[in-house]
């Protein structure tokens, strides 16, 4: 990107305080957005993608300042103030996070937001034309006839008709309401639209129509677009570049075609493999994303994805089958979290067999639940595992976790990965790409 960006987000953070007790003391924070950075060029569409709960909506509302960011900068060069340089104190005159009320009002004209649920974004008692025209009124257009003419024209441009002006929201389908939301977002001639899952609430058959409309309007109005979705196939339709978000952080960013053709972060790989392929001959094996996004209140150390990663790194002197390695880490973490229910496993055995739950049978069952082979290929780790399982059967899960932790640790949990550049504009943050690391075999490549 050689052009000046329209929007530069720098190390943006939004932490929600967690309060407890009578004094409402802050006892922690949900780090919903935890230091994200990206640029959007004029006329460009950047996708922001990730599972539910990873912080996409919080990023959106923090950028347009519907929420107050906890830290970082949002530099917006709209309104003819481009080329501005920093103030003597290092702050930026175009930093949205520092705008006063007057500047914020001007910014709200230039940057509009569209939400997922078109039904909740309209007042049921106001005609849709009135809802769109209200924007013009708020921003100083007093001529009622002029307002109406502009809105009628815009309704046509979003695929409705001028006669729809006097109708009420309940008379429209979800897709039509999203068209009206687009008209309302466009009426002040903004430079940026932040669209948070704008098609996720719509029928699949309608989604493509609305995506096409957004793409058309974007080029017609020369808009920059931050397009948020949890759905990689929607991102592919509409975005020039894509940023992949996991647990408050951006783990990969790059041109959409490059990220899809050659994903660099295992999380991106997993999201891509979840897209259904229309080609039945495709041999790409799905990478299962197990578990849910961990809580942002207490994110995993090091690389935040290490608790779910199918490529999680083994220590230099360990060389196990990758799925056994994943299983050992999962077992270690489950033991440490006290979430291996040995009694329940024993009980299941009692009812299922007449031989009863011998220690070996219970240990075998735990291995199966964690995808571990009957015998781990490393003698050293096999004997640690066996000792840990004995401790687990003796109800000392902490000791079992400690025993496994003697050898079952990963570099991924020890250090935060740095961003690595793969090709111009394509970066990811994964230890596999840091120098002198070779990739472990990908279970899906075999």
* Candidates 55-63, 129-137, 240-248, 275-283; binding stretch for Mg ion (CB under 5 A): 55-63
| 299 forms part of the interface with ligand ADP (CB under 6 A) | no
> By C-alpha distance, which of 242, 249, 240 is closest to 42?
240
Instruction: Mark the segment that binds ligand ADP (CB under 6 A) among 47-55, 198-206, 256-264, 298-306.
Output: 47-55
DSSP 8-state code for residue 437 = -
CB contact set of 365 (below 8 Å; sequence gap of 6+): 345, 348, 349
Q: Which residues of 25-39 are buried (b: 16+ CB within 10 A; e: fewer)?
A: eeeebbbbbbebbbb
Decide whether 82 or 301 has the Cβ nearer to ligand ADP.
Answer: 301
Q: Is the CB of 133 or the CB of 251 nearer to ligand ADP? A: 251
Dist CA 349 CA 358 (whole Å): 9
- HSE (side-chain half, CA atoms, 13 Å) at 33: 26
Select the span of 53-61, 122-130, 303-311, 358-366 touching ligand ADP (CB under 6 A): 53-61
Rounded Cα–Cα distance for residues 249 and 251 (Å)? 6
The residue from 26, 52, 91, 292 that contacts ligand ADP (CB under 6 A) is 52
Q: Which residues contact 315 (CB under 8 A, 6 or more apart)?
A: 407, 409, 410, 411
Q: Does 92 help bind ligand ADP (rule: CB under 6 A)? A: no
As a whole number of angstroms, the distance between CA 133 and CA 155 comes to 11
Task: Determine how many CB atoms are found less than 10 A away from the CB of residue 251.
Answer: 25
- 53: contact with ligand ADP by CB under 6 A: yes
Q: Are strands 241-246 and 45-49 parallel, antiparallel or unpaired?
A: parallel
Give the one entry of ligand ADP, Mg ion, none that residue 296 binds, where binding means its C-beta sits below a cut-off of 5 to 8 angstroms depending on kind: ligand ADP
Part in contact with ligand ADP (CB under 6 A); list of ranges 56-64, 159-167, 362-370, 416-424: 56-64
- Selected from 15, 40, 50, 57, the binder of Mg ion by CB under 5 A is 57
Decide: is 296 part of the binding site for ligand ADP (CB under 6 A): yes
Q: Which of 40, 54, 335, 400 binds ligand ADP (CB under 6 A)?
A: 54
Candidate residues 5, 47, 55, 78; the one interacting with ligand ADP per rule CB under 6 A = 55
Q: How far apart are the first and last CA of the chain?
A: 37
Among 16, 165, 221, 349, binds ligand ADP (CB under 6 A): 16
Nearer to ligand ADP, 46 or 160 (CB): 46
What pairs with residue 255 in β-bridges?
A: 241
Distance between CA atoms of residues 421 and 253, nearest Å = 10
By beta-carbon proximity to Mg ion, the closer residue of 56 and 148 is: 56
**Residue 16 binding partner per list Mg ion, ligand ADP, none, with a CB distance cut-off of 5 to 8 Å that depends on partner kind:** ligand ADP
Least Cβ distance, residue 229 to Mg ion (angstroms): 10
Q: Does 61 bind Mg ion (CB under 5 A)?
A: no
Q: Is 47 helix (H, G, I), strand (E, B) or coil?
A: strand
Distance (Å, rounded) from C-alpha 276 to C-alpha 237?
15
Which of the ranges 55-63, 74-82, 139-147, 350-358 carries the binding residues for ligand ADP, by CB under 6 A?
A: 55-63
Binding mask 58-77 for ligand ADP (x = CB under 6 A): x-------------------
Nearer to ligand ADP, 54 or 154 (CB): 54
Contact region with ligand ADP (CB under 6 A), list: 45-53, 151-159, 268-276, 433-441: 45-53
DSSP state at residue 348: H
Q: Identify which range of 46-54, 107-115, 119-127, 366-374 contacts ligand ADP by CB under 6 A.
A: 46-54
- Least separation in angstroms between residue 50's CB and ligand ADP is 6
Residue 30 binds ligand ADP, judged by CB under 6 A = yes
Q: Is 221 in the site for ligand ADP (CB under 6 A)?
A: no
Instruction: List the one residue out of 86, 95, 82 whose CA is nearest residue 191.
Output: 82
> Considering CB under 6 A, how many residues would be counted as binding ligand ADP?
12
CA distances 161 to 129, 155, 179, Å, are: 11, 6, 11
Using rule CB under 5 A, residue 178 touches Mg ion: no
Token look-up 């006839």 returns 145
Measured CA to CA in angstroms, residue 84 lies from 5, 36, 105, 213 at distances of 12, 22, 19, 34
Q: Report the interface residues with ligand ADP, using CB under 6 A.
A: 16, 30, 32, 50, 52-58, 296
Q: Report the interface residues with Mg ion, using CB under 5 A.
A: 56-57
């Amino acid at each position: 990107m050689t052009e000046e960006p329209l929007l530069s987000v720098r190390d943006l953070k939004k932490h929600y305080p967690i309060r407890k007790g009578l004094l409402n003391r802050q006892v922690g924070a949900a780090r919903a957005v935890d230091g994200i950075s990206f640029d959007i060029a004029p006329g460009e569409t950047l996708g922001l993608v990730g599972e539910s709960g990873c912080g996409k909506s919080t990023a959106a509302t923090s950028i347009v300042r519907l929420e107050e960011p906890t830290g970082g900068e949002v530099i917006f060069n709209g309104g003819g103030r481009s080329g501005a340089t920093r103030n003597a104190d290092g702050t930026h005159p175009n930093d949205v996070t520092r705008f006063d009320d007057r500047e914020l009002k001007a910014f709200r004209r230039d940057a509009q937001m569209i939400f997922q649920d078109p039904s909740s974004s309209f007042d049921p008692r106001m005609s849709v034309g009135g809802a769109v025209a209200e924007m013009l009124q708020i921003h100083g257009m007093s001529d009622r006839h002029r307002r109406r003419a502009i809105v009628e024209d815009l309704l046509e441009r979003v695929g409705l008709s001028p006669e729809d002006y006097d109708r009420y929201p309940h008379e429209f389908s979800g897709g039509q309401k999203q068209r009206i939301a687009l008209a309302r977002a466009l009426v002040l001639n903004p430079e940026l639209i932040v669209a948070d899952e704008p098609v996720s609430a719509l029928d699949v058959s309608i989604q493509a129509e609305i995506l096409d409309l957004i793409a058309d309007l974007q080029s017609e109005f020369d808009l920059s677009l931050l397009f948020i979705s949890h759905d990689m196939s929607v991102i592919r339709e509409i975005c020039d570049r894509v940023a992949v978000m996991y647990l408050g952080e951006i783990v990969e960013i790059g041109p959409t075609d490059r990220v899809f053709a050659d994903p660099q972060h295992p999380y991106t790989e997993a999201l891509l493999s979840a897209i259904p392929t229309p080609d039945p001959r495709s041999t790409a094996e799905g990478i299962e994303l197990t578990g849910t996004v961990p809580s942002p209140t207490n994110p995993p150390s090091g690389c935040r994805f290490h608790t779910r990663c199918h490529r999680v790194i083994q220590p230099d002197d360990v060389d196990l089958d990758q799925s056994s390695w994943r299983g050992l880490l999962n077992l270690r973490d489950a033991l440490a979290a006290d979430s291996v229910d040995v009694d329940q496993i024993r009980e299941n055995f009692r009812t299922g067999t007449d031989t009863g739950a011998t220690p070996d049978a219970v240990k075998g069952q735990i291995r199966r639940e964690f995808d571990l082979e009957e015998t781990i290929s490393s003698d050293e780790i096999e004997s640690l595992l066996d000792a840990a399982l004995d401790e687990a059967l003796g109800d000392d899960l902490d000791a079992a976790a400690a025993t496994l932790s003697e050898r079952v640790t990963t570099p991924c949990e020890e250090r935060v990965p740095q961003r690595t550049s793969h090709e111009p504009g394509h970066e990811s943050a994964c230890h596999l790409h840091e120098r002198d690391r070779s990739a472990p075999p990908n279970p899906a490549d075999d």
